[in-house]
Amino acid sequence: MYNLLSPQKDKQYLDIGCGTGNYTIALVKKGMQFTGVDPSEVMLTEAKAKSSKVEWVSGIAENIPFNDETFNGALGILTLHHWQHIENGLKELFRVLQPKSKLVFFTSSPEQMEGYWLNHYFPRLIKVSGEKMPSVEKVTELAQNAGFNFVEVENYFVKPDLQDLFLHSGKHNPELYFKEEIRKGISTFAALSNKAEVEKGLAHLREDIDSGKFESIKQQYENNKGDYCFVVFEKP
């Protein structure tokens, strides 16, 4: 994220949909100046408790509470699928960014969702979740309509040392999905899951792990599509 955004220490940056601010704070620790915007007061309260060096602001992507050309760049981390109107959000980001600003999204495409082994155990859940993820092509089209230039897409593959416990975090450690507190922190499980399917899927997963079959299931889903991707734009 840092490399793709290419931030400068004397500039102002925006984290739209910042949540509890883990990434915002990590970048501030590198000397950057960030404002975090999120609609959840619960998450912002947690973020404020972690750091007073970030300006935490309540707001939504479709109505960013800042003047035109306030920021020199922006991040959107696992947030696009939560927006009500992506097109309006992109227009707002274009408005609040200065010319030559980078806009970096971290997201997962429907194709990447299909390529994850959780499909084997929770097919309905992952299908519903994947349908909520905008395609890279759609995001690019809407961003260009808003005035941005497309820069690049970079695929991201989850590594065993991943610390942020989002959906694919258990790729190399399936035991994580048995922990209710972790599932509660993953929006796919917290907001979209069916209790019966989760119980059945977990039982199936436990059986496969114990029998040694899981590794062969996991291998069937290995691909070069990436688990997530960075999509980068720039305001001319």
CATH of the domain at 52: 3.40.50.150
28 domain-assigned? yes
Domain range for 90 is 1-107
**pLDDT at position 206:** 98
117 domain-assigned? no
Whose structure tokens read 């010319």? 99
152 domain-assigned? no
**Rounded CA separation 90/155 (Å):** 21
**pLDDT at position 41:** 96
**Residues 37, 43 contacting (CB under 8 angstroms):** no
Residue positions counted in the chain: 236
138 domain-assigned? no
24 domain-assigned? yes
2 domain-assigned? yes
- For the chain, the domain total comes to 1
Does the reported pTM lie above 0.85? yes
**Rounded CA separation 36/224 (Å):** 33
> What sections of the chain are H helices per DSSP?
2-5, 22-28, 41-50, 86-96, 110-114, 118-121, 123-132, 136-146, 180-184, 187-192, 195-211, 214-220
The backbone torsions φ and ψ at residue 59, rounded to the nearest 5 degrees and listed phi first, read: 175, 170
Residues of the chain with pLDDT under 70: none
103 domain-assigned? yes
147 domain-assigned? no
**pLDDT at position 55:** 96
**pLDDT at position 231:** 98
**pLDDT at position 205:** 98
The dihedral region occupied by 60, where left means phi > 0, alpha psi between -120 and 50, and beta the remainder, is beta
